[in-house]
Structure 1
Amino acid sequence: MGSGYGNGGVSGASAAVQAPRLLDEVRRRMRLKHYSLRTEQAYVAWIRRFIFASGRRHPRELGAADVERFLSGLAVRQGVAASTQNQALSALLFLYREVLRLDLPWLQGVVRAKSSRRLPTVLSQDEVRRLLALMDGRAWLIASLLYGTGMWLMECLRLRVTDVDFSRNEIVVRDGKGGKDRRTVLPRALHEPLLREIARARLLHERDLADGVGEARLPHALARKYPHAAREFGWQFVFPSTRRATDPLDGRERRHHFDDAILARALRRAAAAAQIVKPLHAHALRHSFATHLLEAGYDLRTIQELLGHKDVTTTQIYAHVLNRGGGGVVSPLDR
Structure 2
Amino acid sequence: MLKFWKKKPAETPPPDATPAPAADAPAAAMPHDADAASLDTPALGEVLSEAPPPAEQPAEEQPFEVPDADVAPARRSWRERLSGSGFARGLTSLFSRHPKLDDALLDELETTLITADVGIEASTSLVENLRRRMHKREFADASALLAALRMELVQLLTPVQRPLDVSGHKPYVVLTVGINGVGKTTTIGKLARRYRDEGRAVLLAAGDTFRAAAVEQLKTWGARNSVPVIAQGQDADSASVIFDALQAARSRGADVLIADTAGRLHTQGGLMDELGKIARVLKKIDAEAPHEVLMVIDGTTGQNAVSQVRQFRQIVGVSGLVVTKLDGTAKGGVVFALAREFGLPIRYVGLGESATDLRVFDAEAYVDGLLPASLGQG
Q: Same fold (TM over 0.5)?
A: no
Quick check: which has more Rg, 1 or 2?
A: 1
Q: Quick check: which one's strand share is greater? A: 2
If the length of structure 1 is used for normalisation, what is the TM-score?
0.26
If the length of structure 2 is used for normalisation, what is the TM-score?
0.24
Q: Quick check: which one's helix share is greater? A: 1
Q: Which protein, 1 or 2, shows the higher relative CO under an 8 Å CA cutoff with sep ≥ 6?
A: 2
